[in-house]
Amino acid sequence: MGVRQDYIVQAESVEIARSAVVRVGGVVTGDLSIIRAVGAALDDRQLEALRASDVPRLRIFEDSPVQASSNHLPETNYPSEVAASNLHLGGVTGRGVTVAVLDSGVWSTLGPLQTTPYQTPHVLAQYDVIQARQQPTYSQTAAQQNYSQSIDDLFGHGTHISSIIASSGVATTGNYQGVAPGGNLVSVRVLDSTGAGRYFDVIAGIGWVVKEKSRYNIRVLNLSLGAPPQSPYWDDPLDQAVMAAWSAGIVVVAAAGNRGPQPMTINAPGNVPYVITVGAVTDAYHPMQPLQYQLASFSSTGPTYEGFVKPELVGMGGHILAYAPNNGTLALEFPQWVGPYDDFTMSGTSQATAVVSGVVALMLQVSPYLTPDQVKCRLMSGAHPAVNPKGTLAYTVFQQGSGLVNAHDAVYGSATNCANQGLNLGDGLLWNGSYTSGSGYTWSNGYTWSNGYTWSNGYTWSNGYTWSNGYTWSTGDTVTGTDISRQP
């Protein structure tokens, strides 16, 4: 007897097909009544005998292999590079936590952004500040949302950011493509088809998020956008709105900006001392090899003009693969970065910010009662600074903050009272102009930076840079998505 292969044998009925297989000595492996067929194991001799039989309307098919289409999806690497993928295996996926993304919208008809792994809607609501409309309406539930009427992402940046945070796509490796694949999203469109927007729209969007916080359980606000500071942070209207969101109990994660590597290039609203500001690291095309990681050359650097250390930490932000509409402005302008699965590659502190927002969602699933200050403390305490072989910091605290975000150590950390010490948000919300730069803030006690590494030696930050005097504040009011197209 020769080696048997698997086939599908079809006839006028299941019974006729089964009898034909048995008559030539083959083995029936199962019924396929829906197509009047059976599965069969046949060797070459049996196959030829079956083909030569006089059974009417007999058809024989090779049992061709198939696999789930999602298994073709590419590995994104960054969830593993920040230690999130192992948490997913234990059920820590951000389930029940909502991240509000203020950006250019979201392409919610895309499968990995349409439903979570739990078959619940990913996108709970979309609000278009520019056109003052919402989807779903207040009379609809998210499950009833008609995605054909979704608010389009004409630019592509918002979809990319949302995908990094919460894509439920599964790569060929079996890993989720997003950092918090079980989390929920609320998309607030404040940027137009070119990625630009106005202070007014962004502030209005933040106001909408604060108002709808309880309705959608919004715990995190992702701001992958920014502009050069136009006044001291306490006097800037966008910064004021961000402080109001933080005061309302929402964890605000903001991009540092892409104006580095020079010092004092942190964008607003990342210059607000209370919030979590994120710089960017690239794996330099060596995934999962931390010794190859580098601070991205474009990543904005502190201190702020008021003298605060920024960014607080860094996330993966170089050549980040995520979804984006294939007919959006970004895809049309940079076709070389469009992938075969509606994916797109971008670099920037925007992307790094989304990675950190995803980590915050994981933290809040496990510890839902953490305050924004407590989240910030554990993020910073759990971060891993880049060090040289001699054990000294490879980058200054003004470049990497406390280091690369680590999801496991942030989720299961227990640090307390290590962020925003010496800062009084209530006083800051008065905006009375009486603030003295740097007053009321103890550098060494306010944060536990870099796990005990010495960060001030060898780096002059207060001398050599004119950081508070002689600076003419800009008067512009345009904000943009802080991504760049170059791939470091």
**Active-site annotation holds for 319:** no
Residues forming beta bridges with residue 37, ordered by sequence position: 10, 32
Q: Which of 122, 152, 153, 157 is catalytic?
A: 157
Pick the catalytic residue from 88, 103, 343, 408.
103
The CA distances from residue 120 to 130, 214, 482, in Å, are 28, 19, 30
Spatial contact of 66 and 38, defined as CB atoms under 8 Å apart: no
Task: Please give the torsion angle defined by the CA atoms of residues 290, 292, 297 and 300, in that order, rounded to the nearest 10 degrees.
Answer: 10
- Angstrom distance (rounded) from CA 250 to CA 244: 9
Q: Report which of 217, 219, 296, 208 is spatially closest to residue 252, judged by C-alpha positions.
A: 219
The three-point CA angle 102-105-106 to 5° equals 115
Beta strands in 235-342 (DSSP E): 251-255, 276-282, 294-295, 313-316, 320-323
Q: Rounded to whole angstroms, how far apart are CA atoms 98 and 242?
A: 17
With beta carbons less than 8 A apart as the criterion, state whether 177 and 167 touch. Answer: yes
Q: Which contiguous run of DSSP H or E holds residue 13?
A: none
Token reading at 446 = 């306010």
Residue with tokens 């930076």: 449
Query: Distance of alpha carbon 295 from its chain centroid, rounded?
Result: 19
Task: Based on the residue annotation, tell me whether 350 is a catalytic residue of this protein.
Answer: yes
Opening angle at CA 21, ends 18 and 25, nearest 5: 135
Longest dimension (CA), the chain: 98
- 437 as an active site residue: the answer is no
Q: Which of 108, 350, 381, 402 is catalytic?
A: 350
Give Cα 109 to chain centroid, integer Å: 18
Residues forming the active site: 103, 157, 350
